[in-house]
A and B are shown apart, each in its own frame.
Chain A
Amino acid sequence: MTRKDQGARADRRKFLTGVVAAGAASAASAMTPPAARAAEPAPRVPSALRPTMQIAAAETGTPAVSASRIGGVPGSDFMVDVIKTLDIKYLPANCASSYRAIHESLINYGGNKMPEFLTCMHEESAVAMAHGYFKIAGKPLMTLCHGTVGLQHATMGVYNAWCDRVPVIVVGGNDLDAAHRPPGVPTFHSAQDINALVRDFTKWDDTPVSLQHFAQSFVRAYKIAMTPPYGPVMISLDAGLQQEPVKDHGEKPAIPRYVPTAPPQGDSGAVKEAARLLAGAQNPLIVADRAARTPNGVKLLVQLAELLQARVIDQGGRMNFPRTHYLSAPPTAVSGADVILGLELSDFWATVNSYTDNGANGGIGTNGTRIKNGTRLISISSVELNTKANYQDFQRFQVIDVPMAGDAEATLPALIEELKRAGPSKAALEKRAEAAKKAYAEGKERTRQAAALAWGASPVSTARLCMEVYAAVKDLDWSLVASEGNVSNWPNRLWPMEKYHHWLGRSGGYGVGYGAPASVGAALANRDLGRFSVSIQSDGDLMYAPGVLWTAAKHKIPLLAVMHNNRGYHQEVMHVQRLSNFRDRVANLGGDMGPVGTSIMNPDIEYHKLAESMGWWAKGPIKDPAQLGPALKEAVKVVQAGQPALLNVWTQPR
């Protein structure tokens, strides 16, 4: 980068040189041999570093331009002005010297409001908090990190946000000027192109080289992140640009106004063709994954489903369709469909095909079809507009009869209007409705009977765990802020989820470690809305970065975390057992219950003590299901009083 104002650069570098020289003098003094020190006069108390010539001159001379050492308004103050135009409420971050200037501006010049700095203990936690927050608030957060070592920590969170189509604004500090940046650690923490680290799984990135450039980049980054398909964006923020004064060359940097971009809609001709196929179908089916971006998306989907009396499989990327509606259907419903409408599916192939990991065909497994011959497939997906090459989140290729590159929620009104003009006959609708109601009632009864199995078991069954939790929160305005499928999906099968905030979906990229920080981020958003947040917290997930527990306590974020502690990385427990069986070998358990390398036991982690040590109310381990209900009642009261609470529950594996 070229710095036009050499005077300003020299000032910053002289200051840093002074600090380094003073430090060197101090270090030299400390290294003086003891014998030599004995001959010296006794030091005065308190001792102080002797100022360098430059510092002495700066302290005793008359300031040439301004009282500030940097000689003007800091560039990072202007950056804060830019950020404030976008109403970003919080900034979860782990502090780092490469962004010290904007850090200082945010908390002093910006008053630590809009955004408020939230102290995080890991960059991955900070990104995941922003991830969870967005899914409740519908507004993105930004995070700051070291552009190298911090961003390396953050990458897993960024990848999850990318796969889950969630906007997060990541800003990495980086000192580009190799000739003048401080030597040693700051140079280890610098790189030519920090954005390269996350370019494969961010929507856009930039490296602004002037304050005007920063203003445009930041607003552009926000705009791109918030245009469906949503996604994370990255800005490399030069340390020099942050620290140097705003340069007045007769042109004051301007802050562009943010105007949201309208989401892309499916082509009108394709919408008509989709409506024609759906209206003519005998057994149309809707499958939704991340279809509803907002509560209105749920309303639109209900409207569409009722217009067609089509059953809806909600794959749970978001809360798309009420579980209490008789048109709500299980994944097996694909087998009877003659037309399937997929809305923002992350994996259309696996929706209509099966894969069995049975070691057949040389170990690659067996594929099968789950649909009838001749079933017509329609897709509306904005992700088609944003596919990259390296990471394979686009999944296997599936031939679609009517593919639309557009946002599902934005396209549904046009599809609904088309179907209102020429929908199915009344007789067909009544017949489908009757069949759907019957299937729904039968399915619910089967699910309840399955949940009753091992109801009194110790460790606690996952069905019992989930229903005890539901009983404890059902009279509140609850929000299940994190739960992976590893509790046999009981919340989605049994809880009467109806509102958008009842279910937030999963991590996206299945990077373990999302649950704890994302639930804290979502709980932060729910706190501001007066809602009660509850998570089903897995054991392995929590141990990736448990410091987020401290962040929740520090910033008074109420959250009820109920642990699904099955004492293992259970997916891997099953994988290694599977491979052992394929090879006719007895799995080596190494004294644990799961194959070596997969158990989290001997010793057992006392998660309740871990949480307690970081300011949480906590209890456990709970192994007897009869103790769970009373403990939950206590914990709910604590959370209602504004404190986070954790229950460590020993559970069945799935």
Chain B
Amino acid sequence: MKNVIPSGARDLLLLAGLLLAPAALAAGSAEKGKAAYVQHGCWQCHGFMGQGGITGPKLAPNPLPLEALSAFVRNTRGAMPPYQNAILSDADLADIHAYLQSLPKAPDAKSIPLLNP
């Protein structure tokens, strides 16, 4: 089959992306990040609360560290389209990360009667 990338190779690509990540990114503003999260379309696949779904994994609570998130966002060759600096600045990305960090922990499914019918 043409153009096959084994899953191991994809992991290597992600690792390479991590190595390419900026050494240190400034912490952002959760309030600005909430707006940037919508403006840049993150909500489209991950939901307004970063909960994820069939179109994208959960981002929050407990998001990836900013450096790892940045490496992934800039270099992904997977299902998620990359966001280069030209369309998402480091400052906006840091704000988005701050927003994701600010989201509260989800309730335990066991405590929700509708999820335990």
Scan residues 541-577 of chain A and give those whose CB is less than 8 A from a CB of chain B. 570, 573-574, 577
A5 is an interface residue with CB less than 8 A from chain B: no
Chain B residues contacting A356 (CB-CB under 8 Å) are 78-79
A143 is an interface residue with CB less than 8 A from chain B: no
- Give the nearest-CB partner of B45 in chain A: A574
A653–B48 Cα gap in the complex (Å)? 8
B41 touches A360 (CB 8 A): no
Chain B residues contacting A461 (CB-CB under 8 Å) are 47, 49, 51
Q: Which of A364, A445, A448, A454 contacts B47 (CB 8 A)?
A: A454
B53 touches A368 (CB 8 A): no
A574–B54 Cα gap in the complex (Å)? 13
- Give the nearest-CB partner of A577 in chain B: B41
A369 touches B1 (CB 8 A): yes
Q: Which of B48, B78, B79, B107 contacts A455 (CB 8 A)?
A: B107
B81 touches A582 (CB 8 A): yes
A270–B115 Cα gap in the complex (Å)? 44
Among B2-10, B14-22, B64-72, the stretch that binds chain A is: B2-10
- Give the nearest-CB partner of A587 in chain B: B41
A451–B81 Cα gap in the complex (Å)? 25
A20 is an interface residue with CB less than 8 A from chain B: no
Q: Which of B6, B45, B81 contacts A359 (CB 8 A)?
A: B81
Q: Which of A454, A584, A586 contacts B106 (CB 8 A)?
A: A454
Q: Which of B4, B38, B52 contacts A453 (CB 8 A)?
A: B52
B5 touches A366 (CB 8 A): yes
Chain B residues contacting A353 (CB-CB under 8 Å) are 1
Distance in angstroms from A347 CB to nearest chain B CB is: 16
B108 touches A488 (CB 8 A): no
Chain B residues contacting A366 (CB-CB under 8 Å) are 3-5, 77
B109 touches A368 (CB 8 A): no
Interface size class of A (residues with CB under 8 A): 35 or more
A369 touches B4 (CB 8 A): yes
Best-surrounded residue of B2, B5, B44 (most CB of chain A within 10 A): B44
Q: Chain B, 85-117, contact with A by CB distance < 8 Å: what is the 0/1 string? A: 011000000000000000000111110101111
B86 touches A450 (CB 8 A): no
A456–B107 Cα gap in the complex (Å)? 9
Q: Which of B43, B47, B87, B109 contacts A580 (CB 8 A)?
A: B87
Chain A residues contacting B53 (CB-CB under 8 Å) are 462, 488, 652-654
B117 touches A474 (CB 8 A): yes
A501–B32 Cα gap in the complex (Å)? 48
A462–B58 Cα gap in the complex (Å)? 14
> How many residue-residue contacts, CB under 8 A, span A and B?
135
A488 touches B115 (CB 8 A): no
Distance in angstroms from B114 CB to nearest chain A CB is: 4
A200 is an interface residue with CB less than 8 A from chain B: no
* Given A367-B2, A448-B109, A652 contacting B51 (CB threshold 8 A): yes
A581 is an interface residue with CB less than 8 A from chain B: yes
Chain B residues contacting A467 (CB-CB under 8 Å) are 114-115
A405–B7 Cα gap in the complex (Å)? 34
A448 touches B106 (CB 8 A): no
A178 is an interface residue with CB less than 8 A from chain B: no
A204 is an interface residue with CB less than 8 A from chain B: no
Q: Which of A365, A449, A652 contacts B48 (CB 8 A)?
A: A652
B81 touches A577 (CB 8 A): yes
Best-surrounded residue of B7, B55, B84, B108 (most CB of chain A within 10 A): B55
Chain A residues contacting B106 (CB-CB under 8 Å) are 449, 452-455
A459 is an interface residue with CB less than 8 A from chain B: yes
A152 is an interface residue with CB less than 8 A from chain B: no
A75–B114 Cα gap in the complex (Å)? 59
A585 is an interface residue with CB less than 8 A from chain B: yes
B1 touches A367 (CB 8 A): yes
B82 is an interface residue with CB less than 8 A from chain A: yes
B44 touches A573 (CB 8 A): yes
Best-surrounded residue of B77, B78, B87, B114 (most CB of chain A within 10 A): B114
A489 touches B44 (CB 8 A): no
A485–B47 Cα gap in the complex (Å)? 15
A25–B50 Cα gap in the complex (Å)? 71
B4 touches A367 (CB 8 A): yes
Chain A residues contacting B83 (CB-CB under 8 Å) are 581
- Give the nearest-CB partner of A654 in chain B: B53
A471–B113 Cα gap in the complex (Å)? 10
Chain A residues contacting B79 (CB-CB under 8 Å) are 356-358
Chain A residues contacting B44 (CB-CB under 8 Å) are 570, 573-574, 577, 594, 653
A418 is an interface residue with CB less than 8 A from chain B: no
A445–B115 Cα gap in the complex (Å)? 10
Q: Which of A364, A369, A452, A464 contacts B109 (CB 8 A)?
A: A452
Distance in angstroms from B86 CB to nearest chain A CB is: 5
B54 touches A449 (CB 8 A): no
A177 is an interface residue with CB less than 8 A from chain B: no
A361 is an interface residue with CB less than 8 A from chain B: yes
Distance in angstroms from B112 CB to nearest chain A CB is: 6
Distance in angstroms from A294 CB to nearest chain B CB is: 28
* Given A452-B109, A654-B55, A584 contacting B48 (CB threshold 8 A): no
B49 touches A454 (CB 8 A): yes
Chain A residues contacting B86 (CB-CB under 8 Å) are 584-585
Scan residues 584-615 of chain A and give those whose CB is less than 8 A from a CB of chain B. 584-587, 589, 593-594
* Given A358-B81, A489-B54, A582-B81, A654 contacting B47 (CB threshold 8 A): yes
A367 touches B112 (CB 8 A): no
Distance in angstroms from B87 CB to nearest chain A CB is: 5
A273 is an interface residue with CB less than 8 A from chain B: no
A22 is an interface residue with CB less than 8 A from chain B: no
B117 touches A471 (CB 8 A): yes
A457 touches B109 (CB 8 A): no
In the complex, 13 of the A-B residue pairs with CB atoms within 8 angstroms, ordered by the A residue number, are A358-B76, A368-B7, A369-B4, A449-B106, A452-B106, A452-B115, A454-B49, A467-B114, A485-B54, A584-B84, A594-B44, A653-B47, A653-B53
The 7 closest A-B pairs by CB, nearest first: A581-B81, A454-B51, A453-B51, A488-B53, A448-B109, A454-B49, A488-B54
Known A467-B114, A468-B114; further 13 A-B contacts with Cβ < 8 A: A360-B3, A361-B3, A365-B3, A366-B3, A366-B5, A367-B3, A369-B4, A450-B58, A573-B41, A577-B44, A585-B86, A593-B43, A653-B44
